[in-house]
Amino acid sequence: MASTSGKRCTLSIDQKSEILEALKSKKPDDVAKDFNIGYSTVKKIRPNEEEIRKIALNNGNLNRKRKRESPNEEIGEALIAWFHQMR
């Protein structure tokens, strides 16, 4: 298994996509070593493959590390529209 320093590692959408591509041809142990992350991190990414790929296709920012949703979508959309209008 990969030896990590014990610190939390937050991966971007782009990095997660690369890991998913590597999992097609390699074992999770090997992928964990290649990316210098823990085996459990690799195993947690695989079940979310569909969501990660959807975010990568729909959202232009692949450097994004967290997916946060507004608790009130209507206000969030109105705020974004107002912000773009004020530019």
Sketch the domain layout of the chain as residue ranges. 13-86
Give the residue among 20, 32, 26, 8 at the shortest CA–CA distance from 57: 20
Q: Tell me, what's the pLDDT at 82? A: 95
Average of pLDDT values for 67-79? 82
**Largest interatomic CA distance in the chain:** 51
| pLDDT tens per residue across span 13-72 | 899 999 999 999 999 999 999 999 999 999 999 999 998 888 888 866 777 777 777 788
Q: Which structure tokens are listed for 70?
A: 């507004």
Helical packing angle, 49-58 and 13-23, nearest 10°:
130
pTM of the model: 0.68
Query: How crowded is the C-beta side of 42, counted as CA atoms within 13 Å?
Result: 24
Q: How confident is the model at residue 4 (pLDDT cuts 50, 70, 90)?
A: low
Q: Decide if 12 contacts 55 (C-beta within 8 A).
A: no
